[in-house]
Structure 1
């Protein structure tokens, strides 16, 4: 009972302190021009402070130290490299670091994580493979981390989306920690949940809006994928749906699939795979006229649907899990595009009818 009370207090503290700090950080961000300036790809038309990630990182760090949570020692490589990513993201928000340099830093911190022993060590029966060699563990861990981080960063395009996915991810992490009876890990989860909820309050605000920023997207994306890999130590391959894999699939399936689709589409159109545009799934949902909140809910619903497919086929048809999931995602995306096309043609027909009526009246 004492542990649950402590968790409740930590969550409330994280939420309250974040609410207090955010207005102060907004003022500071505007003074040093740490803001997101509108352009043709942005869905906002005013400069917005990029402090969400910085506030979350700062509050969690302070409360984690104050709570005396010894899990820091065991997870030092994860948290140290996570805050490196937070710092790099903040620099990118301010000075716009070249993509190749950011990728280089991501590779370096991923190698540090793999070297520390936090690695993907099994394919869980995918293609009939379970345990993998140490060399493949390093390669796969680095590849998974860099892919997940960049994919998560790309969903931070509308209000609430990346923050909500991260928040639900930490809720799942919190639940898994409680199931395992690991209250030290649960403290990490509840601190992030409280701070992210405070961020979302301001992120959805019209008057005092803030953004997560590259600092927050890189920080949260990197931390979530590393925590997912860390959770694989609790997996029981023969009897249960693996915790770590379940966690990773829930948080990163749609971001990764959408990134693969976007990159492939750009290449097929003769464009650079890394040239930014407005073709991500949340942009298409925005074209349907959905609000940012409804887009976030739709995104999460699609995520749950794809995850259900993965859970159903994970045991018996693991070889086909990725293929079936991707096909389902593409079909959903095609449906969204078809609805968009229908709405566009309906508007054109309505415009033509109005034009004809005006001409006939004249």
Structure 2
């Protein structure tokens, strides 16, 4: 009876229920696990201690990634049976590899080289076994279809860029979690419109996990950081969303987003990519040092230096990013190179506005 039910089950008929169940499970698992995780972290002294470049004071548990990982895995394991299990299980395998690498880095210290190899392995296996990759740029700069190995190499670069972008922006309370939540909701809507229900449910699971995490991350008494175990898992999932959305849009002649998917993705990820590319330029070109060396040159550090609180910094950055998503959605029917120009100009102006105003005022 159960077998017949699953064989005749059409996820499109029950999207709302699947989303609600996934969010509820992830939310419940997260809220149930965090008090225990905080208690263990305090007893075992597994804490992030403030230093010369920290934007917080005191010691805070940095094992929030455990709750994020557990809630996503449980939610997908329960709701994923009638969905596209091959892709979901490969995604779960990838986040498991990155979770344990990140957890080791949170508790001990893991070299950037080992983290890089783990990220490369997780992304490569997913690309090869699902053949989900970025084929071209939908005509941006005249590029449509890339040769196979160039496509694979570029897709790997996209995975590494996004994973490390979310790792690098995790420096202000609520910022990485809020941007990941915004991205998950945005991609969830896009996948729903594209009828990719497996990704809708995965996005719902991430959303539930992050709502619970942000409650503790923004708490004064029971504060918790996500650590590398959380930021790498979230970065990997957002990268999966990115590649899958562009791949599906470019592969279908009837897709609503065939001529705009790369621009919509850039809009969703504008701040993480902007800050990462900016910080790499400053470190490599100006300071002549490793792009992975720590410093206080992130955009969120600039907001803090202007007197913004952590919460105000997060709200301003996320609000601007949401505005950029709406701008890109509004112009998605025009020629794609013009879409790119409008996005880049809009993003540059909006993120520079306050700094220009403060400079003129002084």
TM-score, normalising length from structure 1? 0.85
Alignment of 1:253 onto 2:250 = no
Match of 1:190 among 192, 204, 213: 204
- 1:75 aligns to what SS in structure 2? helix
The answer to which of 81-90 and 110-119 deviates more is 110-119
Q: Indicate how the Cα distance of structure 1 residues 21 and 75 shifts in structure 2: closer, same or farther if over 3 A, else same.
A: closer
Match of 1:269 among 282, 286, 292: 286
Which position in structure 2 is the counterpart of 1:100?
113
Structure 2: which 5+ runs fail to align?
Answer: 1-12
Alignment of 1:114 onto 2:127 = yes
Q: CA deviation at 1:16?
A: 2.4
The answer to which of 66-75 and 334-343 deviates more is 334-343
Give the Cα–Cα distance (whole angstroms) in 2 for the partners of residues 9 and 77 of structure 1: 22
Q: Indicate how the Cα distance of structure 1 residues 238 and 187 shifts in structure 2: closer, same or farther if over 3 A, else same.
A: closer
Q: Indicate how the Cα distance of structure 1 residues 72 and 293 shifts in structure 2: closer, same or farther if over 3 A, else same.
A: farther
Alignment of 1:35 onto 2:47 = yes
1:193-204 equivalences under 5 Å are 193-204=207-218
Which position in structure 1 is the counterpart of 2:20?
8
Q: CA deviation at 1:25?
A: 0.8
Q: Indicate how the Cα distance of structure 1 residues 99 and 316 shifts in structure 2: closer, same or farther if over 3 A, else same.
A: same
Alignment of 1:51 onto 2:63 = yes
Which position in structure 2 is the counterpart of 1:224?
238
Which position in structure 1 is the counterpart of 2:95?
82
Alignment of 1:292 onto 2:349 = no
Q: CA deviation at 1:75?
A: 3.2
Contact 2:33/2:67 (8 A) holds in 1 = yes
The answer to which of 272-281 and 212-221 deviates more is 272-281
Q: Indicate how the Cα distance of structure 1 residues 333 and 100 shifts in structure 2: closer, same or farther if over 3 A, else same.
A: same
1:149-160 equivalences under 5 Å are 149-160=163-174
Q: Deviations over 1:23-55 (max 9, x none)?
A: 011111223333211111111112111122210
TM-score, normalising length from structure 2? 0.85
The answer to which of 98-107 and 155-164 deviates more is 98-107
Q: CA deviation at 1:125?
A: 0.4
Which position in structure 1 is the counterpart of 2:5?
none
Q: CA deviation at 1:287?
A: 1.8
Which position in structure 1 is the counterpart of 2:9?
none
Contact 1:257/1:329 (8 A) holds in 2 = no
Count matched residues: 344
- Bigger radius of gyration among the two: 1
Alignment of 1:134 onto 2:154 = no
Alpha-carbon RMSD across the aligned residues, in angstroms, is 2.6
Which position in structure 2 is the counterpart of 1:240?
256
Which position in structure 1 is the counterpart of 2:29?
17
Q: Indicate how the Cα distance of structure 1 residues 102 and 301 shifts in structure 2: closer, same or farther if over 3 A, else same.
A: same
Structure 1: which 5+ runs fail to align?
Answer: 346-362
Q: Deviations over 1:310-357 (max 9, x none)?
A: 5566665534655664455444454444455568x6xxxxxxxxxxxx
Match of 2:319 among 301, 324, 327: 301
Q: Indicate how the Cα distance of structure 1 residues 334 and 105 shifts in structure 2: closer, same or farther if over 3 A, else same.
A: same
